[in-house]
């Protein structure tokens, strides 16, 4: 595959990997505008409000970056699992579990910030990793398909956490009338990048992680193992790769990233606690981000930025054009569809150049004995 790639002109490679997603987004915007017109709003006003809400001024930019941060980390988690042939839909639940562990350590432990911050982050990572390793183990040991088990663990996490911050729940802030936990101690909060704004250092962590995951996947032995398991599980076994151990490990790393995304959300954003409805949807957005980014860590950064901008701009769109924020979900679904089925886009816009043959990962492998 790589040889074939090298023969192509590098400019053409960039052209292919950029032009198709851009056209996919464009087409999705066109189709969504039909929906907006049907519901009696003006798509031009909606989209300009969307853009202004995302990039209008410094605060909008900061909001976009803040929305991008968890999507990068979550998207990296999903992309890494995809590379290993695993479909981690459980990111949503892993983010929740990570957030809750963060809250527990961040509110109870007494330590100076230099120790408290890393420990609190670590709590989020570990909790997410363990929560994701469960479906990983169930897959490795019993062949239970991770798509279903991770969705189930999402529901389980949501319900238990709803209970824990509900009336009389163990983590409920007793003086509060809404379901929320206590705020983190000052020593567990992430430092700000620009004072008197909401911009914390999470984005730096996210970008570093993107590079780390890239190196992990493409420059280390473990990365080769992960990708081999993803491409052909039988070949991986034949090579002597411990497939089962790898499945659990991949899920754990993936969930650890998701847990970290949750931890950063709790530690970086005022009021530094966990409330009902907090972070909802990041898990599923991460999925779309990973696919849109061609399950490549660098691609994930760009697609997360796109989704983050849409999320950040959605509120102004709702205010100004009376278009509900759910429009964003439709847009994301359409983008995902056109990127995955890029032949549609190639057909519409008559793109002749052949796609690089991307590493084909069959996500439905292990479906109760399916594709072998």
Give the torsion through C-alpha atoms of 274, 276, 279, 280, to 10 deg: 160
For another protein, which is the closer residue by CB, 271 or 347? 347
- Out of 258, 287, 304, 306, the only residue in the binding site for another protein (CB under 8 A) is 287
For another protein, which is the closer residue by CB, 29 or 201? 29
Piece of the chain touching another protein by CB under 8 A; list 124-132, 173-181, 227-235, 330-338: 330-338
**Exposure pattern of 214-229 as b/e (b: 16+ CB <10 Å)?**
bebbeeeeebebbbbb
Q: Which of residues 121-160 bind another protein (CB under 8 A)?
A: 138, 141-145, 147-149, 151-153, 155-156, 159-160
- For residue 90, the minimal CB distance to another protein (Å) is 12
x-or-dash pattern for another protein, window 81-120, by CB under 8 A? ------x-x-------------------------------
Structure-token pair, residue 276? 């009902």
Piece of the chain touching another protein by CB under 8 A; list 33-41, 121-129, 231-239, 259-267: 33-41
Distance CA 262, CA 93 (A): 10
For another protein, which is the closer residue by CB, 17 or 329? 329
Give how many residues touch another protein by CB under 8 A: 57
Distance CA 341, CA 345 (A): 8
x-or-dash pattern for another protein, window 44-83, by CB under 8 A? ----------------------------------------
Residue 23 in contact with another protein, rule: CB under 8 A: no
For another protein, which is the closer residue by CB, 112 or 368? 368
Distance CA 4, CA 84 (A): 23
Q: Which of residues 181-210 bind another protein (CB under 8 A)?
A: none
**Exposure pattern of 62-96 as b/e (b: 16+ CB <10 Å)?**
bbbbbbbbbbbbbbbbbbbbbbbbbbbbbbbbbbb
Distance CA 206, CA 229 (A): 26
Q: Which of residues 215-274 bind another protein (CB under 8 A)?
A: none
Is the bond into 271 cis (omega within 30 degrees of 0)? yes
DSSP 151-183: HHHHHHHHHHHHHHHSTT-TTB-TT-SSSBBPP
Distance of CA 167 to the CA centre of its chain: 30
Residue 357 in contact with another protein, rule: CB under 8 A: no
Torsions phi, psi for 181 (to 5 deg): -95, 175
The C-alpha R_g of the chain, in whole angstroms, comes to 21
- Out of 4, 39, 59, 234, the only residue in the binding site for another protein (CB under 8 A) is 39
Residue 162 in contact with another protein, rule: CB under 8 A: yes
DSSP 187-237: GGSPPBSSTTSS-BTHHHHHHHHHHHHHHHHHHSHHHHHHHHHHH-HHHHH
- For residue 119, the minimal CB distance to another protein (Å) is 29
- For residue 352, the minimal CB distance to another protein (Å) is 18
For another protein, which is the closer residue by CB, 118 or 166? 166
- The residue ranges that bind another protein (CB under 8 A) are 35, 39-40, 87, 89, 138, 141-145, 147-149, 151-153, 155-156, 159-160, 162-163, 166, 284, 287-288, 291, 322-324, 326-334, 336-337, 340-341, 343-344, 361-365, 367-372
């Amino acid at each position: 595959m790589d040889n074939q790639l090298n023969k192509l002109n590098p400019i053409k490679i960039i052209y292919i990997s950029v032009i198709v997603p851009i056209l996919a987004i464009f087409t999705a915007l066109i189709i969504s505008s039909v929906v907006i017109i049907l519901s009696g709003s003006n798509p031009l006003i909606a989209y300009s409000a969307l853009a202004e809400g995302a990039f209008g001024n410094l605060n909008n930019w900061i909001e976009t970056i803040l929305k991008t941060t968890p999507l990068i980390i979550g998207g990296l988690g999903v992309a890494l699992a995809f590379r290993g042939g695993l479909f981690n839909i459980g990111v949503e639940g892993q983010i929740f579990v990570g957030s809750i562990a963060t809250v527990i350590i961040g509110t109870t432990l007494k330590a100076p910030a230099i120790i408290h911050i890393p420990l609190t982050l670590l709590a989020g990572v570990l909790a997410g990793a363990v929560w994701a390793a469960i479906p990983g183990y169930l897959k490795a040991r019993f062949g239970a398909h991770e798509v279903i088990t991770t969705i189930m663990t999402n529901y389980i996490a949501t319900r238990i956490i709803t209970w824990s911050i509900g009336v009389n729940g163990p983590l409920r802030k007793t003086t509060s009338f809404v379901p929320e936990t206590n705020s983190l101690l000052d020593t567990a909060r992430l430092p700000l990048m620009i004072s008197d704004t909401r911009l914390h250092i999470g984005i730096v962590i996210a970008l570093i992680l993107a590079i780390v995951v890239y190196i992990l996947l493409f420059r280390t032995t473990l990365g080769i193992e992960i990708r081999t398991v993803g491409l052909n599980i039988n070949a991986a076994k034949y090579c002597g790769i411990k497939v089962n151990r790898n499945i659990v490990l991949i899920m754990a790393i993936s969930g650890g990233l998701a847990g970290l995304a949750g931890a950063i959300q709790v530690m970086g954003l005022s009021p530094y606690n966990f409330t009902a409805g907090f972070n909802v949807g990041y898990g599923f957005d991460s999925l779309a981000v990973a696919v849109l980014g061609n399950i490549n860590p660098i691609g994930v950064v760009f697609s997360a930025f796109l989704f983050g901008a849409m999320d950040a701009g959605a509120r102004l769109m709702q205010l100004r054009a009376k278009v509900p924020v759910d429009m964003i979900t439709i847009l994301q679904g359409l983008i995902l569809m056109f990127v995955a089925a890029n032949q549609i886009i190639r057909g519409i816009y008559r793109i002749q150049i052949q796609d690089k043959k991307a590493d084909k990962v069959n996500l439905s492998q292990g479906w109760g004995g399916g594709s072998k």
